[in-house]
């Protein structure tokens, strides 16, 4: 009997499969206790770096609770492997319906994700902060 071992790519796919539900506990369960979440292109009023699984869980729970008017139908990553088998790059497309608009596909970010010992240790999110700020302004 062969035992299947989850690859870093498998874990990253599970990570993105969990996002449409906006379940901070489910997302955080895939993170290492000392994980680092970085957003190099910071959104005004948002942190650029969060350290630790519990801090990320709390941040996401708070952030996602304010997104009730947005419906996420699917997140489809295109995952690219790097020379380091534990580091992956993901281009993220989101199938979303936003308040006042119809359903649309949006390219929202490129992520660098590092996996060690079956857990995410780094999640760097290069998101289109200008688009996010403009969307928020249109909802108000």
10 Å CB burial of residue 66 (0-12, 13-18, 19+) is exposed
Residue 51 or 4, more confident:
51
Q: What is the pLDDT of residues 93-138, one digit of tens each?
A: 888 787 677 777 776 789 999 999 999 999 999 987 766 666 655 5
CATH code of the domain occupying 8-139: 3.10.450.50
Distance CA 37, CA 39 (A): 7
pTM (2 d.p.): 0.85
61-74: average pLDDT: 79
Break the chain into its structural domains and give their ranges: 8-139
């Amino acid at each position: 009997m062969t035992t299947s071992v989850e690859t870093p790519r498998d874990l990253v796919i599970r990570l993105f499969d969990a996002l449409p539900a906006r379940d901070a506990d489910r997302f955080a369960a895939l993170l290492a206790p000392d994980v680092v979440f970085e957003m190099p292109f910071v959104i005004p009023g948002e942190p650029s770096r969060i350290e630790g699984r519990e801090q990320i869980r709390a941040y996401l729970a708070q952030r996602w609770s304010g997104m009730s008017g947005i419906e996420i139908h699917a997140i489809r990553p295109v995952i690219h492997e790097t020379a380091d088998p534990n580091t992956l790059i993901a281009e993220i497309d989101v199938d979303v319906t936003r308040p006042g608009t119809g359903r649309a596909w949006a390219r929202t970010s490129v992520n660098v994700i590092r996996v060690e010992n079956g857990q995410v240790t780094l999640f760097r999110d290069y998101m289109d902060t200008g688009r996010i700020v403009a969307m928020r302004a249109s909802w108000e």
